[in-house]
Amino acid sequence: MTTQQMICAGAPSHQVIAWSNINWAKCHQEVRRLQARIVKATQERKHNKVKTLQWILTHSFSGKALAIKRVTENQGKQTSGVDGVIWSTPESKSQAILSLKRRGYQPKPLRRVYIPKANGKKRPLGIPTMHDRAMQALYLLALEPVAETTGDHRSFGFRTKRSTADAIEQCFIVLSRKHGAQWVLEGDIKGCFDNISHNWLLNHIQTDRMILKKWLKAGYMEDKQLFPTEAGTPQGGIISPTLANLVLDGLEAKLEAAFKQKRYANRIQTRLKVNYVRYADDFIVTGCSKELLEQEVKPIIEDFMRERGLMLSPEKTKITHIDEGFDFLGQNLRKYNGKLLTKPSKGNVATFLEKVRKVIKGNKTLDQEHLIYKLNPMIQGWSNYHRHIVAKETFARVDHEIWCALWQWALRRHPQKGKGWVRNRYFHTVDTRNWVFAEATGERFPDGNPILKSLRKMVDTPIRRHHPIRLEANPFDPTWNGYFEERMNLKMQHSLRGRKRLNYIWSKQDGCCPICRKLINNESGWKLHRKSLPFQGQQHGFTDTIMVHPHCSNQINALDLKVVKPVRESGLRKA
């Protein structure tokens, strides 16, 4: 078998493969095929077949290559573990593929760091080495299809194709009805990741138990001392969120079995309206009365948690009436005169404004253009998170608070100048809007007016109702491929509205990357390439812009590839 055939087939490789030569489309195809078979075997309860397929995936070249790719292209790619090693060169990545072996594998201790929490406390974070991260990413490829097939339908945290918007929309569905539930139990698990029982994990998680036990018992390093780990999964590990989800799966079915057909003792045919929604370790349970949630629902939850070594947090677990409202995932759900409205929570707004003010005050000498570049992603990210709810009024208020902070920033820079001069220097009129924080780029429109780089306004973010995911949808099941492609295309179309050039390029390519022929969407990301595209048989070409995946862009740069056909039918060959 040749090297190229080996790469395409996804077979185990025992020789160094050039990183830039890897056929990523074939790798994805091979892994997806194996994951689809794992889903089918899980649905048929063929546990031995699941184990066999997982072994094949974790020993395949495609699985190992994708695991290395994940840990070397995510946000933590420059963060090392206790050994101080990172894989930043194509050669080191190629060698790393050969190092992912089950035989003789022994994980190193985690590097313990602490990150601040909203309540002033600090959250312990364990950082594995690059090699251990890659091994976790490899075994996660084999575990995720099982987790998605057996998981609770109303669990939305750390799951493929699901989001906080889906969780909030599910809350809206169960609480917005006129005769819906009026009471809500807000659940929070105390130290979820730190207290999960190792014995429960080893006895119930359908993965390689020997590898899992080594991860759980690896310990952590703090102040050059080694500490053992007797419980919990490390926060910071790639596989930890999926393990936590598997631990908490089953509560939905337990509540449904206990309350689906249950009625009041006095035979009044009133439903108990017990509904369950979870995102990671935060969840809510609705009910028709406070007594029901306190005396019947809560004990069932506590027994369920106790079996797994967990317990509810007394200070964060409470029962609230819907007319008083409650905060969930940074948003507040409350009924006003019988109508349920979801708004950004006060605490979330205050945290965001504090973060923005810190950036503004911490960059007193930064020029206006770079300050705009720092603030725009923050503003866009926060407004996009809340764009599916009743947030227009909040957006206007936050815009005003940001303007006030920028006005003070501008006045401080020029204490000897008048306010009129400061206004003309930093604030401009754009269309019909005055006092826009903007700076001229040095270029001009054809009519002679300067092109301005302006600060993003939250009120410009359109409010659109989120289309919730179908609860039974499984991203690893091929029967749902069309459904997920339609959802991703719709999201991409919404994100490109108002960006005519990008929308034109994306539509011209039928939403696909001309290099790997896979869909381009918000999750995959993209890069633009301006290349000379000569037609075959012609001496002179033309200049065009194509949209490709980031890893396809790396291949273009590494191999000096050229497109030899129009974008819609584009193929690549080595120059």
Ordered DSSP codes for 194-213: HH--HHHHHHH--S-HHHHH
User: Would you tell me the crossing angle of helices 61-73 and 90-99 to the nearest 10 degrees?
Assistant: 130
Lowest mean pLDDT of 217-221, 289-293, 312-316, 518-522, name the range. Answer: 518-522
The CATH 3.30.70.270 portion of the chain extends over 152-193+236-340
Please enumerate in sequence order all residues whose Cβ is within 8 A of that of 40, keeping only pairs 6 or more positions apart, or say none. Answer: none
Mean pLDDT, range 298-325, rounded to an integer:
94
CA distance 283 to 59: 37
Confidence band (pLDDT; 50, 70, 90) for 5?
A: very low
Residue 495, both tokens: 């994100």
Share of the chain above pLDDT 70, in %: 88
Q: What is the mean pLDDT of the chain?
A: 86
**Does residue 262 register a pLDDT over 60?**
no
pLDDT given for residue 540 in this prediction: 39
**pLDDT higher for 107 or 449?**
107
CA distance 44 to 38: 10
pLDDT given for residue 508 in this prediction: 83
Query: What's the topology of domain 478-559?
Result: His-Me finger endonuclease fold (3.40.1800)
Share of the chain above pLDDT 90, in %: 61
pLDDT given for residue 122 in this prediction: 79
User: Would you tell me the crossing angle of helices 130-150 and 61-73 to the nearest 10 degrees?
Assistant: 110
* Confidence (pTM): 0.86
**Does residue 536 register a pLDDT over 50?**
no
Contact 529, 544 (CB under 8 A): no
CA distance 259 to 556: 58
**Does residue 338 register a pLDDT over 50?**
yes
Mean pLDDT, range 519-537, rounded to an integer:
67
CA distance 276 to 266: 25
Taking alpha carbons only, the member of 89, 35, 94 closest to residue 68 is 94
**Does residue 542 register a pLDDT over 70?**
no
**pLDDT higher for 16 or 51?**
51
CA distance 514 to 518: 8
Lowest mean pLDDT of 252-261, 463-472, 527-536, name the range. Answer: 527-536
**Does residue 563 register a pLDDT over 60?**
no
| Enclosing H/E stretch for 508 | helix 500-508
Q: Report the CATH superfamily, name and number, of domain 152-193+236-340.
A: Reverse transcriptase/Diguanylate cyclase domain (3.30.70.270)
Confidence band (pLDDT; 50, 70, 90) for 305?
A: very high
**Does residue 429 register a pLDDT over 80?**
yes
Residue 464, exposed/middle/buried by CB under 10 A (0-12, 13-18, 19+)? exposed
pLDDT given for residue 559 in this prediction: 63
Confidence band (pLDDT; 50, 70, 90) for 15?
A: low
pLDDT given for residue 537 in this prediction: 42
pLDDT given for residue 448 in this prediction: 64
CA distance 223 to 213: 25
CA distance 382 to 395: 10
Confidence band (pLDDT; 50, 70, 90) for 569?
A: very low
**Does residue 337 register a pLDDT over 70?**
yes
Lowest mean pLDDT of 107-121, 193-207, 402-416, 554-568, name the range. Answer: 554-568
pLDDT given for residue 349 in this prediction: 97
Q: CA-CA-CA-CA torsion for 429, 430, 433, 436, nearest 10 degrees?
A: -70
**pLDDT higher for 558 or 183?**
183
CA distance 207 to 201: 10
**Does residue 167 register a pLDDT over 70?**
yes
The CATH 3.40.1800 portion of the chain extends over 478-559
Taking alpha carbons only, the member of 187, 177, 160, 294 closest to residue 251 is 187
Confidence band (pLDDT; 50, 70, 90) for 543?
A: very low
Alpha helices in 280-367 (DSSP H): 290-292, 298-307, 346-361
pLDDT given for residue 564 in this prediction: 38
Mean pLDDT, range 389-401, rounded to an integer:
97
**Does residue 109 register a pLDDT over 50?**
yes
CA distance 517 to 529: 16
- Residue 80 CB neighbours (<10 A): 15
Using CA atoms, how far residue 246 sits from 36, 143, 283, 516, in Å, is 19, 10, 15, 34
Q: What's the start-to-end Cα distance of the chain, in Å?
A: 25
Using CA atoms, how far residue 378 sits from 372, 385, 402, 403, in Å, is 10, 11, 12, 15
